[in-house]
């Protein structure tokens, strides 16, 4: 999972001292959290991306060929969540999902008038290796995007909200005086204003920004390879993503030929956007926003100016602008469930 992978990647940093956006199943908070600098945080992100690229290489190799199935129960996979060098009994993916995301996973199901253990195994095969290759890039792309920019002012002004005991400049001032509501709410509003004010990020590594576009293209490329492999399968063995001829492990949600066709049509539209052949709509302009040109040539990413309009001017172009019709088949087939399909199919 992309989010948990990022959490794990910073296991040696002061994340246990965070004001918890979710509860980590790691035991007591670190009484002596390490200090965190901007350079140190970038190092953490760099290591995260490097690890994902290493994983991508391994998954690509596993997805290149081979008729194999590895039966694994991912919920029982154990890993050192708290970074203490030991793997405790509760440090499993199931434990993480339960404690961190408040997901109480079922342990059994009814079979007639009896309760039987729930089978949560997956038969991982070559197609799934390609699936993981794609997810490695889904996880790496946003982090690489951040690393392509100088976000030091944002880090200094806002990141104490994420790492309140890491020695950041505003770490001791999450509560202050009262201005409008109460001390806590007013400080939060002030930090939100700082976040907006510092959301202007100079591009410091243009090649890395171009690489983000390459990663996005790789995601759709891996998805196509994944489906080529899925549709070529002749077995039916606990499939992570099934073909129309295989059994879905998602209750009440088979994968039909129409669903596969809608996904391929969606990939076509996404590829057209990434190639600059289909432009993104901007509320203020008749012309469209060329996403490819942005990744290839941008010298800064000012979120406020991009949204307001002036920051988008260098990337406006004439041509077909994406609209509901561009994703008509996906909208019709996936409906309100499109996000679940996107997470499932990547």
Looking at residue 7, what is its pLDDT? Answer: 31
Host domain of residue 156: 150-202
Decide if 46 is inside a domain: no
Decide if 191 is inside a domain: yes
Tell me if 273 sits within 8 A of 322, measured CB to CB.
yes
Looking at residue 17, what is its pLDDT? Answer: 35
Looking at residue 308, what is its pLDDT? Answer: 98
Decide if 281 is inside a domain: no
Residues of the chain with pLDDT under 70: 1-30, 100-113, 175-177, 179
Looking at residue 93, what is its pLDDT? Answer: 83
Domain count, the chain: 1
Looking at residue 103, what is its pLDDT? Answer: 65
Decide if 173 is inside a domain: yes
Tell me if 248 sits within 8 A of 242, measured CB to CB.
yes
SS3 of the chain: helix, strand, coil, percent, to 5:
55, 10, 35
Looking at residue 171, what is its pLDDT? Answer: 81
pTM of this structure: 0.86
Buried b (16+ CB within 10 A) or exposed e, 263-285: bebbbebbbebbebebbeebeee
Looking at residue 4, what is its pLDDT? Answer: 35
Decide if 164 is inside a domain: yes
DSSP secondary structure code for residue 32 in this structure: S
DSSP secondary structure code for residue 34 in this structure: P
Residues forming beta bridges with residue 200, ordered by sequence position? 302
Decide if 155 is inside a domain: yes
Decide if 180 is inside a domain: yes
> Residue 30: exposed, middle, or buried by beta-carbon count in 10 A (0-12, 13-18, 19+)?
middle
* Whole-angstrom distance, CA of residue 259 vs CA of residue 341: 9
* Whole-angstrom distance, CA of residue 325 vs CA of residue 164: 46
pLDDT tens per residue across span 115-126? 777 888 999 999
Decide if 159 is inside a domain: yes
């Amino acid at each position: 999972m992309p989010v948990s992978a990022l959490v794990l990647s910073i296991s040696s940093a002061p994340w246990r001292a965070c004001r918890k956006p979710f509860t980590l199943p790691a035991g007591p908070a670190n009484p002596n959290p390490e200090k965190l600098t901007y350079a140190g945080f970038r190092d953490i992100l760099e290591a995260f991306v490097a690890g994902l690229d290493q994983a991508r290489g391994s998954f690509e190799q596993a997805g290149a060929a081979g008729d194999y199935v590895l039966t694994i129960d991912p919920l029982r996979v154990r890993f050192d969540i708290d970074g203490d060098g030991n793997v405790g009994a509760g440090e499993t993916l199931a434990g993480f999902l339960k404690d961190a995301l408040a997901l109480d996973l079922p342990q059994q199901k009814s079979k007639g008038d009896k309760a039987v253990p729930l089978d949560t195994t997956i038969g991982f095969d070559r197609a799934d290796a390609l699936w993981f290759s794609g997810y490695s890039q889904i996880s790496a792309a946003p982090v690489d995007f951040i690393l392509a920019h100088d976000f030091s002012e944002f880090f200094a002004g806002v990141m104490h909200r994420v790492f309140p005991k890491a020695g950041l400049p505003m770490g001791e001032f999450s509560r202050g005086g009262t201005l409008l509501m109460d001390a806590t709410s007013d400080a939060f509003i002030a930090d939100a204003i700082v976040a907006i004010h510092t959301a202007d990020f100079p591009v410091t590594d243009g090649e890395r920004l171009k690489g983000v576009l390459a990663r996005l293209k790789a995601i759709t490329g891996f998805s196509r390879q994944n489906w080529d492999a899925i549709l070529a399968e002749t077995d039916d063995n606990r499939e992570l993503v099934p073909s129309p001829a295989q059994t879905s492990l998602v209750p009440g949600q088979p994968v039909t030929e129409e669903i596969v066709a809608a996904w391929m049509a969606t990939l076509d539209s996404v590829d057209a956007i990434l190639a600059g052949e289909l432009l993104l709509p901007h509320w203020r302009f008749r012309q469209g926003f060329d996403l490819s040109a942005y990744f290839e040539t941008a010298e800064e990413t000012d979120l406020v100016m991009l949204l307001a309009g002036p920051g988008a001017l260098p990337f406006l172009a004439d041509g077909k602008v994406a609209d509901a019709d561009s994703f008509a088949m996906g909208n019709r087939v996936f409906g309100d469930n499109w996000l679940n399909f996107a997470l499932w199919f990547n």
